[in-house]
Amino acid sequence: MKIIIVGCGKIGSVLVSNLVAEGHDVTAIDSDPTVINELTNIYDVIGVSGNGVDCDILAEAGVAEAELFAAVTGSDEFNMLSCYIARKMGAKQTLARIRNPEYNDSSLAFLRQHLDLSMPINPERLAARELFHVLRLPSAANVETFSMRNFEMVELKLKSDSALDGLSLIDLRQKYPQKFLVCVVQRGEEVIIPDGNFVLKSGDKVGLTATPAELHKLLKNLGLLKKQARNVMILGASKTAYYLAKALITAGNAVKIIEKNAARCEEFSEKLPDAVIIHGDGAQQELLLEEGLKSMDAFVALTGMDEQNILMSYFAQAQNVPKVIAKVNRDEFAPMAEHLGLDTLVSPRRTVANIIVRYARALENSRDSSVETLYKLMDGKAEALEFIVHNDCELVDIQLKDLPLKSNILIAGIFRNKKILIPAGDDHIAVGDKVVILTTGHRINNLSDILK
């Protein structure tokens, strides 16, 4: 598929990397020729140096043949104008990065309609939504939701004293009556889709699927259930912090935000009157302690500096804060953060990459199914995809045990008539179902791709 990316900064470069890995024909546009040179040296892409709202530059990039056009510069208005021009010049689908909170849902709907925009993308809002889900279930390192939040996949890091250490999956299912499925395990660098004989070990990162109610019961029985984070301290008055604080306050939580920029403090005080805004340097440990760090249920580091987020999260963890989360955009910092025991990291860049990769795959789908959701799991080594099953799907009405699945493929959940099925061999897929697939080592565009 021919895809054009305008703006090759932090977000754009990650998009280029992910879309090239997916096998797409990518053209990158940026006003900085140095950036274009670096990208073309690293990736097999066409680079065009110039202004993304210049018709001649867009024509040179082949916009008339573009099946997907994404503008992700730092300017919302530039992105919208670039997408508008691209659409008028023949681009089939357009995505714009729009971050400003002042563009609320109603104004975005108006802009989407009149600019003929396929989808607005707000990385910070998407990241805040991820954080909100994790704070609702603090026992998990990561929470992904499917089928309108009726079905969840959580990642758990097994501690040294875990009740699951040395337990096979067969024994686990017999010992705990809840309806759940262990669908993926990361052990070191290896990611495994396990069978019933697989034995869990301390240090494993385990992916579980179930309904929210069943997950709550299971975590409680395992002794892993932590109370929801009611008192939350946020470091950094960033856009992500704004969206997260707004969601937390709406849900009845107490929020305290530490920010060293006085103007940002004033702005947040006006926009979030129910939050406590502290003007001060969050890198000073004494300030965090004075503001009650030890009494917090959660600490979330959302400054623009990965290094500061990691270090202050490590300090919060040393103060026995029950849930600690750090924003880490640079991939090379993630292993260091995990080595320090920080198991919950969020990256707006990776979130946007997931959204656009999913969108691109949806455009490529055959008629038998359509991808609704796509998540990268286990440090990007596994994928979870949700499909809607259409009439032409060849998997319909065949018992799952009789389906010739490829290796490293698992049917992790079926959503039918507002009910969740944890699949067993005698179950089947029906037209209209939503089906969650877990895979490692395969690129799945539509549901039929899971067959040999």
Residue 349's pLDDT is 85
* Phi/psi of residue 166, nearest 5 degrees: 85, 5
- CA nearest to 410, candidates 433, 429, 435, 438: 438
Q: Which superfamily does 2-121 belong to?
A: NAD(P)-binding Rossmann-like Domain (3.40.50.720)
* 3-class DSSP string for the chain: CEEEEECCCHHHHHHHHHHHHCCCEEEEEECCHHHHHHHHHHCCCEEEECCCCCHHHHHHCCHHHCCEEEECCCCHHHHHHHHHHHHHCCCCCEEEECCCCCCCHHHHHHHHHHCCCCEEECHHHHHHHHHHHHHHCCCCCEEEEECCCCEEEEEEECCCCCCCCCCEHHHHHHHCCCCCEEEEEEECCEEECCCCCCECCCCCEEEEEECHHHHHHHHHHHCCCCCCCCEEEEECCCHHHHHHHHHHHHCCCEEEEEECCHHHHHHHHHHCCCCEEEECCCCCHHHHHHCCHHHCCEEEECCCCHHHHHHHHHHHHHCCCCEEEEECCCHHHHHHHHHCCCCCEECHHHHHHHHHHHHHHHHHCCCCEEEEEEEEECCCCEEEEEEEECCCCCCECCEHHHCCECCCEEEEEEEECCEEECCCCCCEECCCCEEEEEECCCCCCCHHHHEC
Q: Which two tokens stand for residue 246?
A: 């707004």
Note whether 120 and 112 are within 8 A (CB).
yes
Residue 148's pLDDT is 67
> In one letter, which amino acid is 292?
G
**Residues forming a β-bridge with 438:** 384, 410
Cα 156 to Cα 17, 141, 224, 323: the distances in Å are: 28, 6, 9, 13
* Phi/psi of residue 79, nearest 5 degrees: -60, -45
Q: Which two tokens stand for residue 211?
A: 């309904």
Task: Identify the CATH class of 231-346.
Answer: alpha beta
Q: Are domains 127-222 and 362-450 of this chain identical in fold? A: yes
- CA nearest to 421, candidates 402, 440, 436: 436
Q: Where are the domains of the chain?
A: 2-121, 127-222, 231-346, 362-450
Global pTM value: 0.86
Residue 352's pLDDT is 87
Residue 364's pLDDT is 76
As a CATH number, domain 362-450 is 3.30.70.1450
Note whether 97 and 82 are within 8 A (CB).
no
Q: Which superfamily does 127-222 belong to?
A: Regulator of K+ conductance, C-terminal domain (3.30.70.1450)
Residue 418's pLDDT is 83
Give the dihedral sign, CA 351/353/354/359. positive
Residue whose entry in the numeric block shows the structure tokens 């920010």 = 259
Residue 315's pLDDT is 97
Q: How confident is the prediction along the chain (452 residues), in pLDDT tens digits per residue? A: 999 999 999 899 999 999 999 899 999 999 999 999 999 999 999 999 999 999 999 999 999 999 999 999 999 999 999 999 999 999 999 999 998 877 767 777 888 888 889 988 988 888 999 899 899 888 888 888 887 678 899 999 888 888 889 999 999 988 988 889 999 999 988 999 998 899 999 989 999 999 989 988 988 888 888 888 899 999 999 999 999 999 999 999 999 999 999 999 999 999 999 999 999 999 999 999 999 999 999 999 999 999 999 999 999 999 999 999 999 988 888 888 888 888 889 888 888 888 898 888 888 765 566 788 888 888 888 999 999 998 888 899 999 999 999 999 999 999 998 888 999 899 999 999 999 999 998 888 888 899 98
**Distance between CA atoms of 76 and 268, rounded to whole angstroms?**
20
Residue 350's pLDDT is 85
**Distance between CA atoms of 144 and 155, rounded to whole angstroms?**
9
